[in-house]
Amino acid sequence: MPDFLDKVFFGNTVARYAIFIGVLVISWILIRVISKFVLKKLSQRKEKKESSALTIIYESSRKYLVPLSYVVALYFSLQVLTLSAKTVINIRHGIVAVITMILAVFFSGVAVYVFRKYWERKHPEPQSSMAARWISGAIKILIWTLAILLFLDNIGIRITALAAGLGVSGIAIAFAAQSVLADIFCYFSIAVDRPFDIGDFIIVGAQSGNVEHIGIKTTRVRSLSGEELVFSNTDLTSSRIQNFKTMTRRRIVFRLGVTYDTSADTLKEIPDMIREIFAEVGKIELARVHFVGFSASSLDYEIVYIVPSGDYDIYLDLHQKICLLIKERFDQKAIEFALPTQTVHVVAAGVPTTTLEEQAP
């Protein structure tokens, strides 16, 4: 039996192979027992507290950390054997590749999970899901790019020249597609900042309409007259946007004028008359009503009131009711609305004008 254990195969004795197998089996058994115990405790705490953080830890440990532990145990067990330099390098490269892949999957999964939880809490609306998918993809690409660069550096490949070449290529591509890339980055800005959503009524410069689609490069708006307006995302993020969907109340200012024939006593009665009308209408808040000045052909009143709704149809219904009641009350009091008028004095040609003083005896 001792002679058999001393036999050499591929540079190692049978005894060394036995030690290698023993260390590997014992390590894997320990990992199995410990991981089963730890995962059981985590599962119990997860079900008891229903914590998203515990869910991340449990799922990540079960899918990635436990397999990674088996690979690490294999690597250290191989140290018992005497291997050629080339074999050691190949094994080390293989182990590093597996560890890098598992860690990349682990960190990308955790990062995307945390990001999606944050995104769902901040942006629960379903139309923002496409932006979440794009950002999640960008996170995965970034993590995998870093993982590949670290792997290449660990196996002895100099990545300085590669990084420089990629940098030059990236600059060239960026210059060639700068307008497209600008629109894409602006799309992410819109997705994160949410200045408007699908269905919102917005005004951009002289154009207005309801948002129908928010794309990677363009946003489509349906105007009130029916045609589709297409805006580049760069134009939208660099413009001043008025969003009426978020309006919860509307402040209205309007004026009315009465004729100069209206007496001073009647002018004093008009504000109280307007207040009674608003009290009768209800649902709105009268901020103020004042006699504000003398125009060329009218005595002007300014009325300011608040509609507790951003709905334009509700505002028009209330404003129509107010205007009809004002007309009705003015008719009852024989108060006339002022119209733009001019008084023209005509003098016959050749007739001298005289003053009253000259006609007096």
Percent above pLDDT 90 for the chain:
21
Closest CA to 208 of 231, 233, 183: 231
Average pLDDT over residues 161-177: 61
- Please indicate, yes or no, whether residues 15 and 111 belong to a single structural domain of this protein: yes
Whether residues 196 and 323 share a domain: the answer is: no
Is 173 within a domain?
no
Q: Is the pTM of this model over 0.85?
A: no
What is the C-alpha end-to-end distance of the chain, expressed in Å?
Answer: 162
Same domain, 219 and 203: yes
Long-range contacts of 301-304 (CB under 8 A, 24+ apart): 301/255, 301/256, 301/257, 301/258, 301/270, 301/271, 301/274, 302/253, 302/254, 302/255, 303/253, 303/254, 303/255, 303/256, 303/274, 304/251, 304/252, 304/253
The single-letter DSSP state of residue 335 is: P
Higher-scoring residue by pLDDT: 353, 239: 239
Q: Which of residues 288 and 137 earns the better pLDDT score?
A: 288
**Given this model, what pLDDT does residue 193 score?**
77
Max Cα separation, the chain?
A: 162
Q: Could you tell me if 98 and 193 lie in one domain?
A: no
- For the chain, the domain total comes to 3
92 and 215 in a common domain? no
Q: Are 307 and 250 in contact (CB under 8 A)?
A: yes
State pLDDT tens for residues 321-343.
Answer: 999 999 999 999 999 998 887 66
- Co-location of 219 and 255 in the same domain: no
Q: Are residue 194 and residue 79 in the same domain, yes or no?
A: no
Q: Residue 269 sits in which domain range?
A: 250-332
Residues 198, 141: one domain?
A: no
